[in-house]
Structure formats: structure tokens, C-alpha cells
Amino acid sequence: MSFRSGRHFLHVPGPTNVPDRVLRAMSRPTIDHRGPQFAELTGRLLTGLRDAFGNPDGDVIIYPASGSGGWEASISNTMRPGDRVLMFDQGFFAQGWRRTASAFGLEVDLVEHDWSLPVSADAVEQQLRYDNGAEPYKSLMIVHNETTTGVTTDIPAIRAALDAANHDALLMVDAVSSLGSMPLEQVEWGVDVIVCGSQKGLMLPPGLAFNSISPKALRAHDNASLPNAYWDWVAMRTQNQSGFFPYTPATNLLFGLEEALAMLFEEGLYAVFARHSRLAAATRAAVQAWGLRVFCSDPNAYSSSVTAVAVPGGVDADDLRAVILDNFDLSLGTGLGKLQGQVFRIGHLGDINDLMLAGVLSGIEMGLRLAGVEHQSGGVAAALEELASTAPTAPTAPSRPRADPQRIR
Amino acid sequence: MSFRSGRHFLHVPGPTNVPDRVLRAMSRPTIDHRGPQFAELTGRLLTGLRDAFGNPDGDVIIYPASGSGGWEASISNTMRPGDRVLMFDQGFFAQGWRRTASAFGLEVDLVEHDWSLPVSADAVEQQLRYDNGAEPYKSLMIVHNETTTGVTTDIPAIRAALDAANHDALLMVDAVSSLGSMPLEQVEWGVDVIVCGSQKGLMLPPGLAFNSISPKALRAHDNASLPNAYWDWVAMRTQNQSGFFPYTPATNLLFGLEEALAMLFEEGLYAVFARHSRLAAATRAAVQAWGLRVFCSDPNAYSSSVTAVAVPGGVDADDLRAVILDNFDLSLGTGLGKLQGQVFRIGHLGDINDLMLAGVLSGIEMGLRLAGVEHQSGGVAAALEELASTAPTAPTAPSRPRADPQRIR
Amino acid sequence: MSFRSGRHFLHVPGPTNVPDRVLRAMSRPTIDHRGPQFAELTGRLLTGLRDAFGNPDGDVIIYPASGSGGWEASISNTMRPGDRVLMFDQGFFAQGWRRTASAFGLEVDLVEHDWSLPVSADAVEQQLRYDNGAEPYKSLMIVHNETTTGVTTDIPAIRAALDAANHDALLMVDAVSSLGSMPLEQVEWGVDVIVCGSQKGLMLPPGLAFNSISPKALRAHDNASLPNAYWDWVAMRTQNQSGFFPYTPATNLLFGLEEALAMLFEEGLYAVFARHSRLAAATRAAVQAWGLRVFCSDPNAYSSSVTAVAVPGGVDADDLRAVILDNFDLSLGTGLGKLQGQVFRIGHLGDINDLMLAGVLSGIEMGLRLAGVEHQSGGVAAALEELASTAPTAPTAPSRPRADPQRIR
Amino acid sequence: MSFRSGRHFLHVPGPTNVPDRVLRAMSRPTIDHRGPQFAELTGRLLTGLRDAFGNPDGDVIIYPASGSGGWEASISNTMRPGDRVLMFDQGFFAQGWRRTASAFGLEVDLVEHDWSLPVSADAVEQQLRYDNGAEPYKSLMIVHNETTTGVTTDIPAIRAALDAANHDALLMVDAVSSLGSMPLEQVEWGVDVIVCGSQKGLMLPPGLAFNSISPKALRAHDNASLPNAYWDWVAMRTQNQSGFFPYTPATNLLFGLEEALAMLFEEGLYAVFARHSRLAAATRAAVQAWGLRVFCSDPNAYSSSVTAVAVPGGVDADDLRAVILDNFDLSLGTGLGKLQGQVFRIGHLGDINDLMLAGVLSGIEMGLRLAGVEHQSGGVAAALEELASTAPTAPTAPSRPRADPQRIR
């Protein structure tokens, strides 16, 4: 690749831009993971993470792993061979979690599902009521925000469906691309296991996975019987209580995690979510002005962290992405699985602001033109209209309800 | 100031954004400035700088100083008390250089001048021909690119005027905001002293000043008699020949300088200049679409590195800048000297690319609206039109002549 | 902890000091793990790793994980439930690998073993010849360099024992604290799986695990039937062939890995090993001069990367470590498992040189005095004697055989 | 130079090791030097510097310059052409300051002086009483800690001599290698101008110079008439009052300065001085045990920041330094001026601790041996004896008076 001046625009839906503050924190000299300084760090991290997950009195487990490792952890700690679990074909990442479950010998009922829609509470309730397996489902596994599609499922509604069906299954949620970008309240929402990774809303490089677990999930561990060593919650929890880990933790990523959590709390979690929501709205305004289609077909399910954009028939979205990368040094997400070539994905999550997004949308608008994709110009203008009318000092802003940045848990 | 997410947009016309590569280079451990490793570094730096200044066989002096120190160096090394020098009132920085000259006891003829225009060769020639001082001018001091105004003066034409007038004055040029952003060829253009700093086109933090000098300038040093110690060319030159400095150099900035020069040569100097020219054109397209006025009134003198924009009467440009900074975390340059409040300045130089500029112009367009400044929307759209039509793969691009990135001196 | 001036001395046997070059490389902006730039990086990394493992035509798998994850990978990719494996109780880490094997349902024969000695080829051969299980051992799992004890086992001799017994078991080796510090030649030595981590001889922070695998190991994967998803060699290998990964890799640690490999090859692998050997000898000279005991009781098995030092009866080694940490900001390794309180461990591996080691030994010598541990002074002097007599320009150096730093594989 | 593993030991008496914290602070993105965030930074820096110089209500001026620029500033702001000033030939840096004074047309009386001794109050008083110039001395210029020789002059005694002679000269002090390493109290000691740089006790890279000035010095500025532009105190002071600078300041070095001051105050200035004093004593213990000579011949004048060591006749100290650099990657200071080849200098100042010093002394002890310099071994042992007996938990420590780390000005 030839020389590129200026900053690369990294707007795949994760990894996201790592802020300078986090990169600097990560460059601190590595310390002894069995020393007193480390124990204090662990304490601060677990407190912060519990707050971020809305799991203030529960347990958060930190793994040196990619987010996919969090899937394996959620399964190997709670299940027995042959256990039945319920999933919906929400997208590429739901399928990935399914593959892990199958590899561990679970019997997975994967319900067919329109990728452009969220999982509905009705469908969940119906599936649970008419569950006719020999054994009831041990777990319902839902992706909160499908990174493939930009569709967000309403987790409190899913919880209500479980309750309405009076079903005892664990509620497990993949929040890899929602944590730190949109509301997530484990205790309030009644979630048993949340799976997450470091490289999205947490603004870190990839390399950390998380399980945030409820007391009920922990009880399930007692009866679980799958092979469970690296991911063992109990070994982690026991060692964590004195500030240590059963094996060498990823020290420098943990330095970065401390700084990233500090940034999220400095801004205020709900202010962070409001920022993401506002940038997502501006993104959709641009897409609609271009005359392209937001892949998510339910306006109540629009994701705040990623927007998948369908390209017109006959266009290869990856050709468009290549034109944009070559001309404007902007990386967008590819279409995954069956959407390959049909959508491109804009990551608007993490350490991002209005003018960075304006740069992204400008790159896309110019790319559409250079690639010869039929569209109307004016997308950037529409986005600026949205951003300006909701800017801090915009005269009309007060009429728009805003989240309380001072929320204290 | 409240928490700011995402990257700050620093677009004052210097200091410019320091690339990550340069920041990382600067964070290397400091080394002994009298050791063998340092001597090799010095050699590489001087070679690279001579190439950057177009002064391949001459001398470049590196000072631990701000660019203003370079003014003092240019004077104290060449002049005698009471020497007459010729300057034009080009802007705030021309005035600054004049103040230094006066502080050193020179007799400065500062010709009145319209800030919105470049210095014309005719005016120079006329002034030199009818020079009626007791002693002829010892030096003609010209600012190549006035950072105050965004007006570039044609140095080869000035040289020709000197020659036409058959005048022996040294030609001294302030290239603080042109080096590394637009063509500058010391030998070819017949310049005797070039003054520069590190924090503009060289993409470094402030802290280094430069004098690039001709043999004629060096001969002037022999007869000079102003106090001259810290800035002494000859002490520098002598020590530099073995790779050292007469006093402790700014080691870590020099590490950064090595990396910055490497980046300029990797991209190719004339490709760098073409990039700046293209971004400047897009900036002006936006300004004109907004219905605002580019302060520079001679299209042949538009600067590639900075555009000063005049705001409508009754508007305080600094209020606008504050609205833009508060809402969009974008720093623009203030109006300097008599232009305070009347213009704002857009720095589009250094480590910058299309989408960064699109972000900048988006911030201004939204800021104009929020601040209630009368304007037409569509500035960003006009800039994108300019950028897209000149992008690497733009179908119509070939008709546009492009600089040769492979230029070898 | 009160303020600490100067550099912390981190000399646990891993994580080791991360060189500035590696920290700087890790602080580069994260890139798209599905883009073309990433694919090129992957190619360079795998080539370098294959060379480092002495497995030029084989496969190296890189996991976002701690070294312990490499154990799980070695097992879950090759074994079936109930498979019998042979291990020796070499120390705390052999026991850890055993626990993972047991957790995966393997039947582990753990032979009792004196921790102060290496595993002998005779013991291996005898065990294999008189193997009277229903099924033959599927794997022999040996720790190359036990980080608990500072005892190195001769892997080529173990291979010879397998061959002599004409046994088909896979030879699996934990090289976590030997790779990059002492010779390791997978193909030449006939090893099937090597397990490694990033935070020792590779000079990286923790967070990467490795499996380097032979064709025979890969064939074992075909018949394996343990749950295998995150650690799946085949998914990795398939994606790696085009430069990608089946899930998000730990991008910034990979940036660091590229730099660390470059450093190892710049110095030359066998020069690195010679440096470690020399520093280890100096360390032992100090221990012996203090009148303390090197825990390893076989001089042929002394480790080049870590020295465990037995403290006199009645002394708690952890009290001594605390005195040293409090007074001199030096972190040493604790005694692990049954050695707790009885030994402390000196990590002399990774990015370390003579004067850093002299600092370490000085801290220990002063700590012994302050903690009131009975000893003779003169340990540092003995180490300096060893280092000076083997320094590059030492007059007597030629009589000492030295590894060839120019070795080309 | 061949590959070097581990950390370089930089122990010239400046530049000193820049702590990681400072390097990280310096790598923050550059900000607008005319914006509100910058103004706040300036305020914090000036407050901290006034405290560090013991000049709480006075003015400190920060220049983008090397320390030598501070000399030029001290002169050009206060003197008139032909002014008489008194200096002593204390060493290479006193001579440098003299050269600057002469270049500015001052009449310098440079009193011959034994470099191995401090300037005595008696000599000063005598010189001032029998001052028979046409005009009285305008200034007495003294180097507090001669970096050439490791000799510290007692400034309060010099002040007393000025007072005893009832002389009105300004007392100007070069504290380049004392500030931040040994006590310095401008107001309490009655100093009018202190000249300093960033790269010694302040633990920064080179690139900042300082003048800390008294009200009397500021009054002298009113009558001064030397050329004065870049170094102009009044322009600086005026702009600084609103948080700005008359020209672009060295932003990223200022970020580092903020962090370095924070570190000094966290440790406590007098704890910092006690640390330096203790390390200097250990260094001299080593030198004496080697049978070499500390160049400073007055034990009351030993420097806490640098020790110059005389080598035996017939030995070239630079040969020894080369052997040490080649074998042990340790940089020591060369002999300057007439001491070239006769001494080497050990910098034990800045961000340094016991084990770093132990490494340095080990490198010298081994280097003496390899270079064939006649000496006794045991220097390192003597230093460790000194360090251990004065360590925080040393049983005999209480009898040793210690500075109060809680000192509040």
C-alpha cells in the first residue's frame, strides 16, 4: 500500500479506535501479577466492570481472550453434555455462538429468523410454552446487538417472555457490541450471563473477554459437567477475591481497561449512550438521503453502535468498500455470512465524535460516486442537519428528551 | 471543560497534528548527545533537511528554539548595528520579524502593504532601484507564506526583482508555514537565509527552529558584529561537522524530526505539496459555497497551508470559533493583529487527509449555523465535489496535471 | 505504596521487561483485522514464529490467551475422552497442565519426581516399556524448563527415549519459559506440540498463547473428539492461510510480537541464548558466593532463564522478597506450590543485560543483609568476576566456546 | 553498533533518564497554544516552577531553548554594553557563560580558580571590596554545581559575602545541574537570577531553559539596553499572565514538565534531595574503594548530582569510557575542557534509584578491569555497604538525620 497521510479512519464495528489515553496507559511497564500493586488494580477493575455491566453485587470474570472465548466460557461453566438450548438465527454471531454450543455437545434449537428483525418476545414465549423436548431448555441465548445486521433485540422484553412462560432457562446474552454503547443493566433486566469483549464500546484493542454472571448462573456451575479449565469461573472468582488470577492475566490490556473505564465514567455512561444514539441517527439520516436502505427493517430495533447498509442489486458492497479504502483510507465492515457483498457496515461506536462521523460519511458519499453506485447526493448534508440540530448549543435542542448524564447507580 | 470523546480536531495553522509515528519516535529513551550513536543521527538529519530545503550542498542549522528564534538567528549572524533592511507589512509575522530586527538595532524600512495581497516583484524592484539610504539595504526580508493571511508570495519573482535591480542585499525568507507544505527550493530560487520552525509542515511539536543558509549568507557572518552566541552559525556548523552541537540539542525532538523527514520522503515531497494544494482548493470551494470571503484577494497567491476566512460585518470571528470549539471540539486559528475578530483561519497543513478536512469543514458549516452567522449551506458538499473529482481513482482525474511523486533532486 | 523513583526492577520469571521498542509498537493505532494490511502482518508473524520454534515448514497457531490456554489447546485438539497420557511431577506448571488434562477427562499417569532434577530419559523409556494400561499412552507431556524450579529437561534425550521404546505417543512440550531464552528446535528434536506464551523470552506482555505443531499432531486432530471450538487448530490454520483469523485476534499484541521477533533475529537467536546462558552463570556464581543453594541439583540441568534459590531453614523466602521489594523496588518470583516460602526465583530472561543483572543481584545481596538472612557477602563481586571474564573484550574470552551469532537455519 | 539487549544505562550528568511517565505525557496530542486548555496548563506550570525554584512570589520564565539559552537570557535582559561582571573560572560551564557575556560586549573579570574547589565566600568578598573598576560590577555570576567537576559552591555563603561587602551587584546563579537534585531556595538565599535547563534534575529531554528572577532583576531589565527579543522577560511575563506566550511554546515538552513537577512533589523535594545525597555518597564510597580520586577536593563541596573521577596518570579516561560503553552499554560523561582524558563523570541525578546505581558502578568496576586501569576491586561492595546501611528498613538508619519529606513551603 502506498503512503497514507493523516489518520486512518477505522470504522468497522470493532475493533474501534483506541483513544490515546488508553494506548498510553497500555504502554506502562508490565508489573508483577502476583504483587501488591496488582491486587489493588484488580479490585478497581472489578468494581468498575460490575458498574458497567449493571451487576453491582455480582461477579465479572476477565479472560485473556477474544470475545469468542466468552461464548465458550458461558457454555462450559454452566452446561452438561446434551443439554438443550434455544437460540434464534439472528446473524453471523448468533451462528458462531451456536457452533461453539454444538462443539461442546449441546443440543441447539436454532429458530429460523429474519435477520433484519429483532427477536420478538412473542416468538420467545411461544417457543418456550410449546417446548416439547425430553428435557426443558437449560438456556436461552440471545445476541443483544447483532453486529452483522445492526439490529438490537429488546432484552427486558425477552426476560418478560421467559417470566410469562414461567420458564427456568438461564438467560444468556451476547453484549459484545452493545456494552459501553447502549444501555445494559444485568440485574435490572434479569440476565444470567453476559458475554462481552474489549474491542468495541470499551475502546480497547482486542484481547479481553468477559462473563458477567448472576447468582443463578453461578449455581448452574455446580451442576455443570463440561470440560472446564481455562474458563473456570470458580477458580477465577476465588483468586480474584484476593486480587489475583489463576494464571497470568493480560497485564497491559488491564492497564488500558482501567483507563477506558475511567473515561466512560468521566463522560457518564448514559451520556455515552446518548452520544451513540445521536451519531447513529445522523448516520441513518445520511443513508436515507442517499436513497440506500438501512438493513434493519424495524425502526425500534435500530442499533446505536453499527448500521448495516444494503447496496442496490448488482453492486458488490466489497467493491465499494475497496474503492473507499483505496481513495479515502476509511475501513468499513464487510457483509458477513449470507450478507457478503450485499451490505457494508458502519461502526459508529467507541471513542467517536461528530466530526469523525462527518469524515466517515463524507468518505462513503464520495466512494459511492467513485464506485458508480446509484445514489442521491446530500447524505452528509442530512447528517449535518441532524447533528447541528441536536448539538449542545442548538437552539431547538431542549425539546428533545436527553438521558441524564448524572445517573448514579 | 467537560469530557470530550473522540479525537480533538486541531486545525490552527500550526502547531499541526503530530502523527503517531512521530510521537512514538519522540518517546524513545534519550541518549548521550556526545556519543557515537548521536553523531550518526545528526548526519542523517542534516542530509534530510538539506534536501527538504532544496539546499543540498549548503548548511542547515537546527536550534532548540521556537520559530521566532530563527528570526533572531538570521539577523544576529549576518548584520551590523544600524544596517538597513527592507521589509513589507505582509502581516502579523512580518511585523514580528521586524520587531526582532529593530530590537537588534537595525534600521528597518517597512513598506506599507495590503495584507490581502502578496508582495509584488515590481514593488520590490522599485523600492530597491530608488533606495536612497546612506547605505544600501543589507537584506530584503520576505515572508513566503503569511500565516496571518493565507497569502503566498512568489519568491522566484522576488529573486528576479533583486537581480533586475542589480542589488546585493541578502534575500531572507520566512518559510515557517510553507516548508513541507508547498514548493521551496533554496538554491534554485536564490535564497540566502530561510527561517523555519518544526510545528507546521514538518509535523513536529514546537521546539525546533531552523536556518538554512547560502554561502553568501555565511560570508556575511564574517563581517557581522551583533551579539551572537546561542544562535552562532559558525559554532554550530563546526560542531555539526563531527555530528555534535555546541550545547545540548533537543534530543527527543530530533528523534521526531528523523521520523517526520522519513514520512515526507516516503510520500515524496512533491506529492505532499500536491496533497496540500488539493485540500486547499477544497477548502476554498467550501468557503465560496458558504458565501464567505477568502481573505486572500489574489487567486495566484492562495496558500496551500492556511486559508483565512473573512466573516461578515457585525460578526465576531472569535465568537464563532468559540461556538465551534465548544460544540465540535475543533480548534481554528484566531485573527491576528488588526484582523482580530474579522477572520478565522483554517490550518490544512501537515499530517492531514481528505476525511479529516471533511470533518473540519463540517464543523465550520454547523458552527456557522449554530452561531447564527449568515451563510449558505452546501460548503461541505462543494468541498466533497472537489475532493471526489480529484481523488486517485476519479474518472476525470487524468485531465488534471499532477506533480511527479518520484521527483529526485 | 510510597513514591518510587527510577525504574522498577521486574525480575519474576515472567512477565519480563517489555522493551521500549515493543511497547511503542503496541501503541500503534489498531487496524481492521479483516483488511489487506492485516493479512500481510499475519504472514510475517507466522514466518517469524516458525523460525523461532524451529518448525520452518510446520504450523504455529497464535491465540489471544494466556499461556495456560495453550495447554488446553494442546489437549482439546488431539485427544479423546479417556485417553491415557504420561506426565512427570516436575513442578507447579506440570501440575497445572495435568489439571487441565484431567478436567478434559484424560487419564493422566503422573509419575512422582524429585522437583530438583530433570526428567531423565531412562525414566521415560522405562515407563513407556512397561506401560501396562489397556490403551497405550496417547501423549507424553513434558515441561522443557520448569519455571517453578529452574530445572531444564533435555528434550532430545526424551525424544530418543520415545524412539528407543518404539512408542507412538505424541511428544508435547511446554516451552513457556524456554522459547527465546534457550535452544528449542521442534523439527530437529522431534517434538509434536510445543505450548508457549508471550510474556517470557518473547518479551511481550501476557496475552498471547502459541501451539507449534507437527504434521503428526495435525493428524491426531482428525481423530480427536474433545470439545474444541475456541482453540480449534484447523479453523485457525484455514483462516491463517489467507492471513486472517476465525475470530478477532489481539491486534496490538501482534504489533508487539512483530517487533519482538525482529529484535530476536537482529540479535540472532543463538546470540540471545548465549547471553541468557552467560547471565545465568553469573547469577549462580552470586548464589554460590552467598552460600545459598541453587535449587536445581543437577548442573547439567541449570536453567538459562530462571534460577530458584533455596533459603536457609527458618527463613521465609516471601519475607525476604518483601524486604527486597520495599527497600529496592525489585520484584522476584515467589516459591510456588510446595516450595512456597522455601525458595525465591530470579528471572534473568528476556530483554536483560549485564548491568540490569548486576542491579538485581545487588538488591538481593542488600536484601539478605537487611532481612537478617545468614549469608556471606561477595555474591555481586563473584557475578561481576564471571561477567567481566566473559565480556566481549575480555582478554581471556577466546578460550570459552561461544555460539555462532550468524547461525542461519 | 551491534544489537544491544536490555536497557541502555544513560549516566552522563544530563540529559538524564526520562521517566516513562514523562515520556507518556509528552506523547499526548499537541493542543492549540492559544486556547483555554493551554492557559490553564501555563498557570499550573508556573506555580509548580516557582515552588521548585523557591521563588514563590517571583517570576519564572520558560524558554523553548537549551540551557545555554538561559545564559543569554540572563545577560540580555539585565545588562548594558560594557557592563562589568565578576566570574570565577569554576569549570567548562562557567567559561561558557563567560563566552556568552563577552559576546554581548560585557567586560568580564574572570578570576583564576582551582577547578577542584568551590568558590569561597572570602574570595568573593575580597574581590568585591577591592573592586577598582571604573564602574562597580553589575553582576556576580556563579555556577552552583559545576557539571564539569562535581564541585558545589555554597550560594548562601556567597550571598553573605556580597552583603558583607555591601555590594549591589546582581547575584546570578547557574543551577542547571542542581535544580531538582539538591536544595535551591531563591528567595531565602537572595539570588536574583537562576538559570536552568530541563534535562537534568527535572528529568525531561533537553529543550527547555528557565530564568527564575527576583524583583531586583526585573528592575534591572528597565535599564538594560542589550538586544533583547526572543529572551525578553517582559514580553513573556506579560503574556504569561493570561496563560499565553509571545511565540509558540514547546507544547509537548510542557506536557512533560507538568508530569515531572508532579513527580518531584509526589516524592517531596527534600526527599528527592536526600535520595541524591545518599546515592552520591555511595558513588564516592565506590570510587574511594577502587583507589581512584574524586576530583572535588573539598568534602564539603561534593556534588549530589555528579561525581568526576580522576583516572591514574597515563590512562586516557575516554578510552576507559569507550570500553565501558562497548561492553556494558553504559554512557558516562567525558572530561570537558582541560580535563579531557583526565576524568570521567558519573551522573547520578534525576530518575534514579539504588539498583540503577549499582548497575552503573558494576559497569565501571568491570570496565576498569577490562581496560587494564590499575585499581582495587571492591568498589561496588563498598557502595552496597553504604546503600544497605542507609536503606529505609536498615536497622541503623535512625541515627542518621533525614530531611523532612513533608516540607511545606
Q: A290-305, pLDDT tens digit by residue? A: 999 999 999 999 999 9
- Contact criterion met (CB < 8 Å) for B334 and D34: yes
Eight-state DSSP code of residue D119: P
CB atoms within 10 A of CB D122: 11
- The answer to whether the CB atoms of D28 and A24 lie below 8 A apart is yes
**Residues of chain A found within 8 Å of residue B17, distances taken between Cβ atoms:** 6-7
Q: Are A61 and A73 in contact (CB under 8 A)?
A: yes
Please name the residue ranges forming H helices in C291-391: 317-328, 354-370, 379-389
**C165-211, pLDDT tens digit by residue?**
999 999 999 999 999 999 999 999 999 999 999 999 999 999 999 99
Cβ partners under 8 Å of residue D222, min gap 6: none
From CA C306, how far away is CA C349, in angstroms rounded?
7
Distance from C-alpha of B98 to C-alpha of B93, rounded to nearest angstrom: 8
pLDDT digits (tens, 9 = 90+) for D72-113: 999 999 999 999 999 999 999 999 999 999 999 999 999 999
Chains within contact range of chain D (3+ C-beta pairs < 8 Å)? A, B, C
Question: CB distance C230–A18 less than 8 Å?
Answer: no
Of C358, B390, A38, the residue nearest D366 (C-alpha): C358
Taking the CA of residue B22 and the nearest CA in chain C, the distance in Å comes to: 11
Q: Which DSSP state fits A287?
A: H
pLDDT beyond 70 at C361: yes
Using pLDDT thresholds of 50, 70 and 90, give the confidence band for residue D395. Answer: confident
pLDDT of residue D130: 86
Taking only the tens place, the pLDDT of each residue in C56-100 is: 999 999 999 999 999 999 999 999 999 999 999 999 999 999 999
Please give the pLDDT value at position A95: 98
| Span B162-197, pLDDT tens digits | 999 999 999 999 999 999 999 999 999 999 999 999
Q: Quickly tell me which residue has 458477567 as its cell.
A: A212
The predicted pLDDT at position C317 comes to 98
| CA B284 – CA B386 distance, rounded (Å) | 10
Subunits adjacent to chain A (3 or more Cβ pairs under 8 Å) = B, C, D
Q: Read off the pLDDT of residues B353-392 as tens digits, 9 standing for 90 and up.
A: 999 999 999 999 999 999 999 999 999 999 999 999 999 9
Between strands C208-213 and C293-294, the pairing is unpaired
Pairwise pLDDT comparison (B41 vs B398), residue with the higher score? B41
Q: What is the pLDDT of residue C394?
A: 86
Tell me A331's DSSP state.
E
Distance CA A167, CA B405 (A): 68
Among the partner residues D272, D329, D381, nearest to C353 by beta-carbon distance: D329
Q: Answer left, alpha or beta for residue A378, where phi above 0 means left and psi between -120 and 50 means alpha.
A: left
Q: What is the pLDDT of residue C319?
A: 97
Question: Chain C contacts of A24, Cβ < 8 Å?
Answer: 27
Q: Say whether pLDDT at C395 is over 80.
A: no
Position B400 pLDDT exceeds 80: no
* B249:D66 CB<8 A: yes
Q: Is B64 helix (H, G, I), strand (E, B) or coil?
A: strand
User: Cα separation of D259 and C79, whole Å?
Assistant: 54
Task: State the average pLDDT over residues A220-246.
Answer: 97
C83: nearest Cα among C140, C166, C125, C128: C140
Q: What is residue A130's predicted lDDT score, i.e. its pLDDT? A: 86
- In 3D, which of D230, D96, D248 has the Cα closest to residue D174? D96
The DSSP 8-state label assigned to residue B204 in this structure reads P
Distance of CA C383 to the CA centre of its chain: 24
Q: What is the pLDDT of residue B403?
A: 36
* Pick from C223, C253, C205, C214: nearest CA to C62: C253
The burial of A144, by beta-carbon neighbours within 10 Å (0-12 exposed, 13-18 middle, 19 or more buried), is given as buried
Average pLDDT over residues D342-354: 98
Q: Which of A124-138, C105-119, D165-179, D204-218 has the lowest mean pLDDT?
A: A124-138
Report which residue type is found at C253. Answer: L
The partner residue sitting opposite D393, judged by closest CB among C268, C272, C370, is: C370
Alpha carbon distance A399, C281 (integer Å): 75
pLDDT at B259 over 70: yes
Looking at residue B130, what is its pLDDT? 86
Residue A292 to residues A285, A309, A379, B286, Cα–Cα distance (Å) = 10, 7, 10, 26
Residue A131: pLDDT band with limits 50, 70, 90: confident
* Partner residues linked to C212 by β-bridges: C60, C194
Distance CA D131, CA C354 (A): 56
- Out of B275, B328, B360, name the one closest to residue A5 (CB): B275
- Alpha-carbon span B183 to B193, nearest angstrom: 16
- Section A88-99 average pLDDT: 98
What is the Cα gyration radius of chain B? 21
Find out whether D337 and D16 touch, Cβ atoms under 8 Å: no
Residue C11's pLDDT is: 98
Residue D267 grid cell: 516524592
| d(C-alpha D291, C-alpha D312), whole Å | 10
Distance of alpha carbon A170 from alpha carbon B26, whole angstroms? 52
Q: Residues of C with CB below 8 A from D329's CB? A: 353, 355
Structure confidence at residue C403 (pLDDT): 36
The answer to whether the CB of A108 falls within 8 A of the CB of A81 is no
pLDDT band at residue C396, thresholds of 50, 70 and 90? low
Asked if A63 and A253 touch (Cβ cutoff 8 Å), the reply is no
Which residue, D303, D332, D280, is CA-closest to D13? D332
pLDDT at residue D396, rounded to an integer: 54
Q: What pLDDT shows up at residue A3? A: 86
DSSP D193: E
Q: What is the pLDDT of residue D404?
A: 42
pTM score, whole prediction: 0.95
Give me the interface pTM, i.e. the ipTM: 0.95
pLDDT in tens, C220-247: 999 999 999 999 999 999 999 999 999 9
Selection from B370, B374, B368, B364 nearest residue B313 by Cα: B374
Question: Which of B147, B160, B210 is CA-nearest to residue B339?
Answer: B147
Closest residue in B to C28 (Cα–Cα): B20
Q: Check whether A409 has a pLDDT greater than 70.
A: no
Burial environment of residue C29 by CB neighbours within 10 A (0 to 12, 13 to 18, 19 or more): middle
| pLDDT recorded at residue D282 | 98
Look up residue D120 and give its DSSP letter.
P
Provide mean pLDDT across the span A10-14: 97
Give B408: exposed, middle or buried? Use CB within 10 Å, 0-12, 13-18, 19+. Answer: exposed
Residue A132 has pLDDT above 90, yes or no: no
Average confidence (pLDDT) over A373-396: 93
Chain B interface residues (partner C, CB cutoff 8 A): 20, 24, 27-29
- Is pLDDT above 80 for C366? yes
Q: In chain D, what residues touch A29 (CB-CB under 8 Å)?
A: 20
Residue C356: list chain A partners with CB under 8 A: none
Distance, C-alpha B282 to centroid of its chain: 20
Lowest mean pLDDT among A305-314, C28-37, C43-52, D91-100: C28-37
Cβ contact B145:B175 at 8 Å:
yes
pLDDT of residue B133: 76
| pLDDT at residue A395, rounded to an integer | 74
